[in-house]
Amino acid sequence: MDRTEFAARIDHTVLGPETTFADVQAVLDEADEYGMNACIPPCYVAEASEYAPDVTLATVVGFPHGQHSTAAKREEAVDAWENGADELDMVINIGRLKAGADDAVETDIAEVVAAVPIPVKVIIETALLTDDEKHRACEAAAEADADFVKTSTGFADGGATVEDVELMAEYLPVKASGGVGSYEEALAMFDAGAERIGASSGVEIVSGAPEA
């Protein structure tokens, strides 16, 4: 793929706890300049959608630990959509999954998916899961009609790996996120089956891509 196609598959991200709107503006400016999407904190979505209306805007739900109530996640999703978000990245309830409450995990996802008419990506936080749990999380996301599964929040030790992307791609399109910082690393994720990349190093990643 050429650089334009490549850039359109990068979600340029700023989600740290100290993120200011000035930080968000910088990411939006870079996303607009390089043809990327942006992923930002939900508190800035309304301002961001007005500031950069041509940038595809993602935000997060139940972030970063996934332990919000389902009702809170649903309301957060609706609020983000009404404020201008184009896509949502929601965190599963990892504790419920580890306890074997897969039906509760699926319901949690399905409630968010049903609440909004925009794509929902489901963050399963692979670094905290066994392979069996990864399969079960992806199955829950698929059964709940999610649009993507996503590897990581970036707030747990470990991030996207080729092996996890290959596993997850058996179920749904994959957003590889966490620790992807170069064009070569992003390309390895795409080769493994990822459709999107989430990274705070979007400019560096796209700058490394061939121009034609």
pLDDT 10s digits, 2-15: 899 999 999 999 99
Q: Is 79 a catalytic residue?
A: no
Give DSSP secondary structure letters for 158-193: ----HHHHHHHTTTS-EEEESS--SHHHHHHHHHHT
Q: What is the pLDDT of residue 158?
A: 86
Percentage of the chain with pLDDT > 90?
96
Q: Is 98 a catalytic residue?
A: no
Q: Which residues of the chain have pLDDT under 70?
A: 212
CATH number of the domain at 13, please. 3.20.20.70
Number of domains in the chain: 1
Contact 111, 146 (CB under 8 A): no
157: which 2 tokens? 């030790």
Closest by alpha carbon to 150, among 140, 158, 162, 138?
A: 138
Q: What is the pTM of this model?
A: 0.96
Tell me how far apart the alpha carbons of residues 174 and 164 are, in angstroms, rounded to a whole number: 10
- Tell me how crowded residue 46 is: count the other CB atoms within 10 A of its CB: 15
**Which entry of 11, 89, 108, 164 is annotated as an active-site residue?**
89
Determine the 3-state secondary structure of 64 from DSSP: coil
Per-residue pLDDT tens over the stretch 89-126 = 999 999 999 999 999 999 999 999 999 999 999 999 99
Tell me how far apart the alpha carbons of residues 32 and 105 are, in angstroms, rounded to a whole number: 35
* Structural domain containing residue 153: 3-208
Q: Is 121 a catalytic residue?
A: no
